Chain A
Amino acid sequence: MSRQRRTGVGRALNLFGPFIGLLLVIALFALIPEVQGRFLRAANFKSVATQSVIVALGALGMTLIIISGGIDLSAASNIALASVITAYAINAGAAPILAILLGVLTGGLVGLVNGGLVTRLRLVPFIVTMGMMGIARGAAKWIAGNQKIDAPMTWVNELMSRSPRPPWLLLAPGIWIVILFAVAMAVLLKYTVFGRHIFAVGSNEATARLCGIRTNQIKILVYAISGLFCGLSGVMEFSRLTVGDPTVAVGLELDIIAAVVIGGGSLSGGEGSILGTMVGVLIMSFLRNGCTMMGWPNYIQEIIIGAIIIVAVALDRLRHRTA
């Protein structure tokens, strides 16, 4: 009986732990008089949310991968590649929707190759995706001719607009897309057989195989889905920049991974949640936003976010011990 109650408390902590962090970050800046006024404005929250879209989309897929016990270091390169492809297609006169599709599918293809290499060659995901990180980045630069690709303005560029049309959308379409997919992935993880099998593979792959789960199929799918999200994220990147820039998002994979980890994901697999990841994304965005408002230099932001990652994981361990 007591065991069950304890797990109840543990679960509550697990669920709300990241939220507490988020509230602390918001409260921190809300209490500093210099920035209070600007920071707490709805417009600012809106802009933070818009700035979060690119990392958030990447982190949705990364959450699945990390739960399954894998990692994807090629996410950021993949985003850059997809943004270049999208720009290239629009520039070549393709219909915007077709360009978006091409961008997303390029991302999916990169993910599929990642998954294929991890399962078929039985290579460690860290190595495979580290290799793919270079390959995708190189391919992006190659296709773009080592420069930015300018593209004519289309409605694609409004996906990340802070004043969306029609106005009743209130938020940028990109934010709605993130919310839609976040709900879809959370449901997928909790209420489908596939979702449960992702957890099983990450928790104990040998057991999963023994129970007749096609572990390779699960992994390939997870990497492919994550690739699709990177592709979509690349489209958003293009939408924001209005050019296809092959050098964009360098190092962003670490932000994406950090978001998942701050949100309770375990790099050894079997743990993680979409809600947690989204909160993790917001924690980092608000920190950046607040630091910028304070006029703190970039390096201060880097140090703070680095510390937050370590503290978040340390708190996570503590939570598990008390639970």
Chain B
Amino acid sequence: MRDVAAAPSVLRMAGVSKSFGATRALDDVSFVLGHGQVHALIGENGAGKSTMMKILSGAIAPDAGRMEIDGRPYAPSGPADGLRCGVSMIYQELNLAPHLTVEENIMLGREAHTAGWLDRKAMMRKVRESLELVRHPEISPEVPVGRLSVGAKQLVEIARALTNRSRIVVMDEPTSSLTQEDSQRLFEIIRGLKGQDVSIIYISHFLEEIQRVADSYTVLRDGRSVGSGTMEGTSLEDIIQLMVGQKFTQLFPKVEHTVGEPVLSLNSLKGTRMASPVSLTLSKGEILGVAGLVGSGRTEMLRTLFGLDEAEGGAVVVSGAELTGRRPWTRIRRGLGLLSEDRQGEGLAPALTVADNMTLSDLAPYRRHGLLSPSRQRRAVAGLIGTLKIKAKGPDQKVGDLSGGNQQKVALARLLHQKASVLLLDEPTRGIDVVSKSQIYELIGGLAREGKAVLFVSSYLPELLGICDRIVVFHRGVLVESRPTSAWDAAGLMAAATVGRTSREKPIEQRNTV
């Protein structure tokens, strides 16, 4: 491994190893973080990034190896000790207490006090400063965090790390729930932090983003450090190659499929949580992309369509007949299947097994005289585990123990198992590794070839452009534009999503698409 730090190093990790039972999560990893540098930590899910960061934060202790901060040995006894030594973490899963206010969350664990009595004024001042720093002074410090949007929560989390005056800030997928605009602000904040001599370890699946913000990188694969260097002069292809080794060929596998007759149409469907009525048509064998910013109304449309949110107007026609039932189970019977954007909270039951999760929406085949047959359930699921290349010990493993990518495949497998003919996928590749992504794209392509219809909501433009036949764009709750994918480019999609119109002089209107 080359030493990449041209600047003097603030953090050194040398020969760090960690095993969990028989699995070697980290194997002799060394890592150097330069002063005021942004260092990207890259790797598939399960490559060892989170283990490494947990060791750095003090949440777990390494089996071997040592760490130094500013040349002094660093062996944190716990996260609190890590914080004291100047290491802050911004986690991917939001770590906020929903009942506590913004101020209470930001100051949690380091409240200003005199002999145990809170000094609210001092804390309020600090919190206002840090919200200023993330350029969102309009977030009220007194609002309970549970009432904020996901993006705002992420900003609160970032503000929390900033108030700690840390030397080292670890950001784990910080932009995964931010809008484009807030991501830009985050990058500015990062530049500002660098100027104040704060060093940042940046973990992200968005490689383009890494290329923009990082000075240097380290790639982990299967618990080993397989390469590191300066970002300058390194291409994304090089990094992807390092990440995946030999197994990776093409990010967007082309699966030939033909678009058939219409199977789903929304006629001015309006839900109680939708800003305005939406009309669109989806055909058999079609992959229809849905682009738009976070909060632009895409998820609400899917949820209304699936009966999770209440509809208050319009109609949905599936295979020529209007939907009558209101609840999700009636929609499932008509062939609809929804993949939730919230994998942990809604999409899966983490404590249940792979087999139970996959068959939950259709247990009828395994029932005889009112009793379930777990063995038949397991047999049926074994095939799906193979088809979807799910890395699990077997049908009986708990879903919560799988990596993010494999969890998502289990969630997808449920839709296959229930034989959904119209798949509503909400951010199916969010927060998962490149290889799993590619496998999911291939799977979606295969479904289209079988004549299934796919509605594919995503905030990641390259994948929309890579696999969809047609893309519609949402802006502030309105479906503003629909075109075949060949007529879109990334800039056009971004323009439509951010300003509600494209470079062409099309009027902003609800267009009924064919």
Instruction: Write the residues of chain A forming the contact surface with B, with a CB cutoff of 8 angstroms.
Output: 3-4, 7, 191-194, 196, 199-200, 202-204, 206-214, 269-271
Q: Which of A194, A207, A212 contacts B97 (CB 8 A)?
A: A207
Known: A7-B147, A196-B118. 16 other contacts (CB 8 A): A4-B142, A192-B116, A193-B116, A202-B99, A203-B99, A204-B96, A206-B95, A207-B97, A210-B89, A210-B91, A211-B79, A212-B78, A212-B79, A212-B80, A214-B80, A269-B99
Instruction: Evaluate contact between B100 and A4: CB separation under 8 angstroms.
Output: no
Closest residue on chain A to residue B79 by CB atoms = A210
Q: Inside 8 A of A191's CB, which chain B residues have their CB?
A: 117-118
Instruction: Evaluate contact between B111 and A193: CB separation under 8 angstroms.
Output: yes
Instruction: Evaluate contact between B83 and A212: CB separation under 8 angstroms.
Output: yes
Q: Inside 8 A of B97's CB, which chain A residues have their CB?
A: 199-200, 203-204, 207-208, 270
Which parts of B295-350 form the interface with A (CB within 8 Å)? none
Instruction: Evaluate contact between A271 and B99: CB separation under 8 angstroms.
Output: yes
**CA–CA, A313 and B140, complex, Å:** 28
Instruction: Evaluate contact between B118 and A193: CB separation under 8 angstroms.
Output: yes
In the complex, per-residue mask of B75-104: 1 if CB is within 8 Å of any chain A CB, else 0 = 000111101100001010001111110001
Q: Which of B83, B84, B98, B108 contacts A270 (CB 8 A)?
A: B98
Instruction: Evaluate contact between A192 and B96: CB separation under 8 angstroms.
Output: no
B109 beta carbon closer than 8 Å to chain A: yes
B143 beta carbon closer than 8 Å to chain A: yes
Q: Inside 8 A of B254's CB, which chain A residues have their CB?
A: none
Q: Which of A7, A192, A200, A206 contacts B100 (CB 8 A)?
A: A200
Q: Which of A3, A192, A211, A270 contacts B99 (CB 8 A)?
A: A270
Q: Contacts A202-B99, A204-B96: A211 and B108 contacting too (C-beta < 8 A)? A: yes
Which parts of B84-140 form the interface with A (CB within 8 Å)? 84, 89, 91, 95-100, 104-105, 108-111, 113, 116-118, 140
Which parts of B61-79 form the interface with A (CB within 8 Å)? 78-79
**CA–CA, A4 and B113, complex, Å:** 27
Q: Contacts A192-B118, A196-B118, A199-B104: A209 and B79 contacting too (C-beta < 8 A)? A: yes
Instruction: Evaluate contact between A210 and B95: CB separation under 8 angstroms.
Output: yes
Output the least CB separation between A76 and chain B (Å).
Answer: 28
Q: Inside 8 A of B116's CB, which chain A residues have their CB?
A: 192-194
Closest residue on chain A to residue B99 by CB atoms = A270
Instruction: Write the residues of chain B forming the contact surface with A, with a CB cutoff of 8 angstroms.
Output: 59, 78-81, 83-84, 89, 91, 95-100, 104-105, 108-111, 113, 116-118, 140, 142-144, 147
**CA–CA, A270 and B113, complex, Å:** 21
Output the least CB separation between B19 and chain A (Å).
Answer: 23
Closest residue on chain A to residue B104 by CB atoms = A196
Output the least CB separation between A8 and chain B (Å).
Answer: 10
Output the least CB separation between B9 and chain A (Å).
Answer: 26
Q: Inside 8 A of B78's CB, which chain A residues have their CB?
A: 212
Q: Contacts A202-B99, A203-B100: A211 and B140 contacting too (C-beta < 8 A)? A: no
Closest residue on chain A to residue B95 by CB atoms = A207
**CA–CA, A213 and B84, complex, Å:** 13
Instruction: Evaluate contact between B143 and A213: CB separation under 8 angstroms.
Output: no
Query: Closest 6 CB pairs between A and B?
Result: A212-B80, A211-B109, A270-B99, A203-B97, A203-B99, A204-B97
Q: Which of B79, B80, B117 contacts A192 (CB 8 A)?
A: B117
Q: Inside 8 A of B118's CB, which chain A residues have their CB?
A: 191-193, 196
Closest residue on chain B to residue A211 by CB atoms = B109
Output the least CB separation between B330 and chain A (Å).
Answer: 25
Closest residue on chain B to residue A201 by CB atoms = B97
Closest residue on chain B to residue A272 by CB atoms = B99
Output the least CB separation between A138 and chain B (Å).
Answer: 35
Q: Inside 8 A of A192's CB, which chain B residues have their CB?
A: 113, 116-118
Instruction: Identify 20 residue pairs between A and B in the complex whose beta-carbon atoms are under 8 Å apart, listed by A's number.
Output: A3-B147, A4-B143, A7-B142, A191-B118, A192-B113, A192-B116, A196-B111, A196-B118, A200-B100, A204-B96, A204-B97, A207-B97, A208-B108, A210-B79, A210-B89, A211-B110, A212-B79, A212-B84, A213-B80, A270-B98
Instruction: Evaluate contact between A204 and B140: CB separation under 8 angstroms.
Output: no
Q: Inside 8 A of B111's CB, which chain A residues have their CB?
A: 193, 196
Instruction: Evaluate contact between A207 and B113: CB separation under 8 angstroms.
Output: no
Contact residues of A: prevailing secondary structure: helix
Closest residue on chain B to residue A205 by CB atoms = B97
Q: Inside 8 A of A211's CB, which chain B residues have their CB?
A: 79-80, 83, 108-110
Q: Inside 8 A of B99's CB, which chain A residues have their CB?
A: 199, 202-203, 269-271
Output the least CB separation between A207 and chain B (Å).
Answer: 4
Q: Inside 8 A of A206's CB, which chain B residues have their CB?
A: 95
Instruction: Evaluate contact between A213 and B108: CB separation under 8 angstroms.
Output: yes
Instruction: Evaluate contact between A193 and B113: CB separation under 8 angstroms.
Output: yes
Instruction: Evaluate contact between A207 and B117: CB separation under 8 angstroms.
Output: no
Q: Inside 8 A of B80's CB, which chain A residues have their CB?
A: 211-214
**CA–CA, A219 and B116, complex, Å:** 17
Output the least CB separation between B200 and chain A (Å).
Answer: 19
Closest residue on chain B to residue A270 by CB atoms = B99
Closest residue on chain A to residue B91 by CB atoms = A210
Q: Inside 8 A of B83's CB, which chain A residues have their CB?
A: 211-212
**CA–CA, A270 and B108, complex, Å:** 14
Q: Inside 8 A of A271's CB, which chain B residues have their CB?
A: 99
**CA–CA, A193 and B110, complex, Å:** 9
Output the least CB separation between A289 and chain B (Å).
Answer: 34
Q: Inside 8 A of B100's CB, which chain A residues have their CB?
A: 196, 199-200, 203, 270
Output the least CB separation between B109 and chain A (Å).
Answer: 3
**CA–CA, A207 and B78, complex, Å:** 13
**CA–CA, A269 and B117, complex, Å:** 23
Instruction: Evaluate contact between A200 and B117: CB separation under 8 angstroms.
Output: no
Instruction: Evaluate contact between A3 and B143: CB separation under 8 angstroms.
Output: yes
Output the least CB separation between A82 and chain B (Å).
Answer: 28
**CA–CA, A80 and B95, complex, Å:** 41
Output the least CB separation between A165 and chain B (Å).
Answer: 37
Instruction: Evaluate contact between B117 and A204: CB separation under 8 angstroms.
Output: no
**CA–CA, A213 and B83, complex, Å:** 11
Output the least CB separation between B160 and chain A (Å).
Answer: 8
Output the least CB separation between A274 and chain B (Å).
Answer: 16
Closest residue on chain B to residue A204 by CB atoms = B97
**CA–CA, A199 and B140, complex, Å:** 19
**CA–CA, A3 and B142, complex, Å:** 11
Closest residue on chain A to residue B114 by CB atoms = A193
Output the least CB separation between A264 and chain B (Å).
Answer: 12
Q: Inside 8 A of A214's CB, which chain B residues have their CB?
A: 80
Output the least CB separation between B136 and chain A (Å).
Answer: 14
Closest residue on chain A to residue B58 by CB atoms = A212
Of A194, A196, A206, most buried by chain B (CB within 10 Å of CB) is A196
**CA–CA, A208 and B109, complex, Å:** 7
Q: Inside 8 A of A194's CB, which chain B residues have their CB?
A: 116
Q: Inside 8 A of A207's CB, which chain B residues have their CB?
A: 95-97, 105, 108
Output the least CB separation between A322 and chain B (Å).
Answer: 12
Instruction: Evaluate contact between B143 and A7: CB separation under 8 angstroms.
Output: yes
Output the least CB separation between A174 and chain B (Å).
Answer: 28
Q: Which of A4, A204, A210 contacts B98 (CB 8 A)?
A: A204
Q: Inside 8 A of B95's CB, which chain A residues have their CB?
A: 204, 206-207, 210
Q: Inside 8 A of A7's CB, which chain B residues have their CB?
A: 142-144, 147
Q: Inside 8 A of B91's CB, which chain A residues have their CB?
A: 210
**CA–CA, A202 and B117, complex, Å:** 20
Closest residue on chain A to residue B120 by CB atoms = A191
**CA–CA, A200 and B106, complex, Å:** 12
Of A199, A210, A213, most buried by chain B (CB within 10 Å of CB) is A210
Output the least CB separation between A208 and chain B (Å).
Answer: 7
**CA–CA, A194 and B118, complex, Å:** 9
Output the least CB separation between A222 and chain B (Å).
Answer: 15
**CA–CA, A191 and B84, complex, Å:** 24
